[in-house]
Chains A and B, each alone.
Chain A
Amino acid sequence: MSQYLINGLVLSSIYIVVALGLTLVYSILDVPNFAHGELVMLGAYIGVFLIGLMGVTNYFLVLIFAVVALAGLSVLLWKFIFRPLRSAPPVTMFIAALGLVYILQSAVQLIWGKEWLSLRSPFAGSVLLGAATITHTRIFIFSLGCLLMILVSLFIYRTWLGKGIRAVSQSESGAALAGINANRMITFTFAVSGALAGCAGILLGHVTFVFPLMGFSPLLKAFAMIIIGGMGSIPGAIIGGFFIGIIETLSIAFFSAEYADIFAFGALVITLMIRPRGLMGKLE
């Protein structure tokens, strides 16, 4: 049981990192980036490519490369795909994101094939905690996840850039009056979101297999998390994240893996029914 809990906690922390990236973009654009899961997937594949195929040995170099590459890609997607659609009805952004999902998934399949790959982490060994075995990898993942949660919160609430992002997400015209360039803020948000996705991808690759459709499930879980926690809210994403993580872990422990999805999505639907705003609101 405690083994489930530990693994569930670690997985949740990765999902929360995904959810943070998703909620940042939502708060500033009012439209969720449905292709976010594919960015995570690309992060994992970069890891596989660099470590597995190219034999790069410096792990942190790989992490940084994935983070930077995906931050850059995310900004490109904003500039060329989402930004031109801002004046159109919001649904078109959703459809464009869907198009991106198709493109990214199939591109990856064409280049790397459908096989399930694995992404080895540089951490070997494990610790015993009572009845549970925790691998060093998982400790690293959980720590990095928590570190990112803290960093993102600090970034959004303490830094000048973060304040700018919050201003624009609250009111674009108000922010403009204060001299804040909305475009630049949105670009930064996409960059941070992409960076988080890239990192989450590599971490995810250590605990599950890497395959082209791997981004879909984390995306939906991240949606469930931020809808429950409140779209656009950082603490909401974190709380919602642990909530979904616990539901999933419990359902796997008491029922079976098949039920995990039902309960997670069921929680999403129920939240949308009772309180679409979630537990917290937009970025305050």
Chain B
Amino acid sequence: MSRRLRTIAYLGIILILYLIPEFVRSDYIINLLVFFLIRSLVAISFNLLYGYTGLLSIAQGGFYGIGAYGYTLLVMNAGWPTWPAWLAGGLIAAVISLPVSGITFKLKGHYFAICTLALSLIITAILTIWRGLTSGALGIAGVPPMGGISLPWVGEISFRNTFSFYPLVLTVFLLILLVIYLLTNSKVGRTFQAIRENEELSLSVGINPNHHKAVCFFISAMISGLAGGLFASYIGFVHPMTSDVFIGLFALVCTVVGGTGTILGPVVGMLLLGTLPEILRIDPMIRNLLFGVCLIVVVRVAPKGIMGILGQLRQRSREVLR
């Protein structure tokens, strides 16, 4: 497919995505899409860490929660306007990732994973115990939605309900997807992958792995934090369990099954394992069972996940067509 045709196709898809609420007037489905987009952001942030740089981090839940609480506290307690508060929430999560980087980078593989898991749990515990700041396990209700924007001709756009929030989330999602695409298909992505493939060799060509890993972690934590802020402004309620370790694990499952190291892998995985079970009203327990089965099947049979299988099918069809 020629480049121009492909660009038009992408723009067309994006246009359709924006227009979905016009055709589908169901609050339920748009709500599902909003959650799908927010959670996909967490999966994408995990994919950046694991699929490209090889860091198996289970700390995404913690950063998500920090972003959510950051937004909430800055808006409600410090009186910040919503947009800067949202960005600041993501930045706070990213900054907190720096000491985490320092602590965890000398650890290999599973030690790293376990340490990030412990840190995620510690973040949840801190959010619960620091009642002065966070009202503890009661959570904070009445979190304001994102403030409105005034556009020249269109007038005031507010983001108070599902239908108006959807374009906001979609825009953030697409922007972050674009950023990830630009980064990973560039020298930055190549360097991340080199570090994942062979850290010693990377050192011998002048790459400082810790620097790049820290940058990767920073960006990943920022994305998770921004996703958390979006969540808080949409739901209107935050709670220590907003930083639950399961969020990080869920991101891991969706990314591994969808296909690590690809841009759309985590999104596909989230669609299949997150949204589809909800639409089909699959019992959460059966869904979790399927998670486990999918993980084991993928790891044994299809290490590149669904995107890998699709890639192989495309390869085969090309060979057949010759």
Is B122 touching A99 in the complex (CB atoms < 8 A)? no
Residues of A within 8 Å of B117, CB to CB, are: 220
Which residue on B lies nearest to A216, using beta carbons? B245
Shortest CB distance B269–A (Å): 13
C-beta contact mask, A92-122 vs B, less than 8 Å → 1, else 0? 1011101111111111011000000000000
C-beta contact mask, B276-317 vs A, less than 8 Å → 1, else 0? 000000010111110111111001100100000000000000
Is B110 touching A94 in the complex (CB atoms < 8 A)? yes
In the complex, what distance in Å separates the CA atom of A34 from the CA atom of B104? 19
Which residue on B lies nearest to A110, using beta carbons? B285
Is B125 touching A103 in the complex (CB atoms < 8 A)? no
Say whether A51 faces chain B, with CB atoms less than 8 Å apart.
Answer: no
Is B113 touching A94 in the complex (CB atoms < 8 A)? yes
Contact flag A262-B126 (CB < 8 Å), given A84-B300, A88-B303? yes
Which residue on A lies nearest to B110, using beta carbons? A94
The A interface, classified by DSSP as helix, strand, loop or mixed, is helix
Interface size class of B (residues with CB under 8 A): 35 or more
In the complex, what distance in Å separates the CA atom of A259 from the CA atom of B253? 29
- Find B121's partner among A34, A98, A101, A261 (CB 8 Å cutoff): A261
Which of A7-15, A163-171, A266-274 participates in binding chain B? A266-274
Contact flag A85-B299 (CB < 8 Å), given A98-B252, A220-B118, A262-B125? yes
Contact flag A268-B295 (CB < 8 Å), given A90-B109, A109-B285? no
Say whether B256 faces chain A, with CB atoms less than 8 Å apart.
Answer: yes
Contact flag A261-B299 (CB < 8 Å), given A94-B110, A106-B289? no
Is A96 touching B119 in the complex (CB atoms < 8 A)? no
Say whether B181 faces chain A, with CB atoms less than 8 Å apart.
Answer: no
Residues of A within 8 Å of B256, CB to CB, are: 95
Contact flag A276-B106 (CB < 8 Å), given A103-B293, A110-B286, A265-B122? yes
C-beta contact mask, A213-234 vs B, less than 8 Å → 1, else 0? 0000000100110010000000
Say whether B11 faces chain A, with CB atoms less than 8 Å apart.
Answer: no
Residues of B within 8 Å of A89, CB to CB, are: 109
Say whether A81 faces chain B, with CB atoms less than 8 Å apart.
Answer: yes
Shortest CB distance B245–A (Å): 9
Contact flag A96-B129 (CB < 8 Å), given A269-B103, A269-B115? no
Is B252 touching A276 in the complex (CB atoms < 8 A)? no
In the complex, what distance in Å separates the CA atom of A101 from the CA atom of B293? 10
Shortest CB distance B241–A (Å): 14
Say whether B215 faces chain A, with CB atoms less than 8 Å apart.
Answer: no
Say whether A236 faces chain B, with CB atoms less than 8 Å apart.
Answer: no
In the complex, what distance in Å separates the CA atom of A265 from the CA atom of B128? 15
Say whether A194 faces chain B, with CB atoms less than 8 Å apart.
Answer: no
- Find A102's partner among B56, B128, B292 (CB 8 Å cutoff): B292
Say whether B33 faces chain A, with CB atoms less than 8 Å apart.
Answer: no
In the complex, what distance in Å separates the CA atom of A118 from the CA atom of B40? 39
Interface size class of A (residues with CB under 8 A): 35 or more
Shortest CB distance B138–A (Å): 14
Say whether B214 faces chain A, with CB atoms less than 8 Å apart.
Answer: no
- Find B114's partner among A101, A223, A266 (CB 8 Å cutoff): A223
Shortest CB distance B312–A (Å): 18
C-beta contact mask, A249-284 vs B, less than 8 Å → 1, else 0? 000000000110110011011001100100000000
Shortest CB distance B98–A (Å): 14
Say whether A32 faces chain B, with CB atoms less than 8 Å apart.
Answer: yes
Shortest CB distance A136–B (Å): 34
Is B295 touching A99 in the complex (CB atoms < 8 A)? yes
- Find B292's partner among A99, A259, A266 (CB 8 Å cutoff): A99
Shortest CB distance A237–B (Å): 16
Of the listed residues A32, A96, A272, A273, the one surrounded by the most CB atoms of chain B closer than 10 A to its CB is A272
Shortest CB distance B244–A (Å): 12
Say whether A91 faces chain B, with CB atoms less than 8 Å apart.
Answer: yes
For chain B residues 106-140, which have a beta carbon within 8 Å of chain A?
A: 106-107, 109-111, 113-115, 117-119, 121-122, 125-126, 128-129
Of the listed residues A85, A99, A220, the one surrounded by the most CB atoms of chain B closer than 10 A to its CB is A99
Shortest CB distance B49–A (Å): 12
Residues of B within 8 Å of A107, CB to CB, are: 289
- Find A96's partner among B111, B253, B285, B295 (CB 8 Å cutoff): B295
The 6 closest A-B pairs by CB, nearest first: A102-B292, A99-B295, A103-B292, A106-B288, A106-B289, A99-B296
Q: A259-B129, A269-B115 are in contact. List 10 more A-B contacts (CB 8 A).
A: A90-B110, A91-B110, A96-B300, A100-B292, A103-B292, A103-B293, A227-B114, A258-B125, A269-B118, A276-B106
A to B CB contacts below 8 Å, 22 in the list: A32-B114, A81-B296, A81-B300, A84-B300, A85-B299, A89-B109, A95-B252, A96-B300, A98-B295, A103-B296, A106-B287, A107-B289, A109-B285, A110-B283, A220-B117, A227-B111, A261-B121, A261-B125, A262-B122, A268-B115, A269-B119, A272-B115
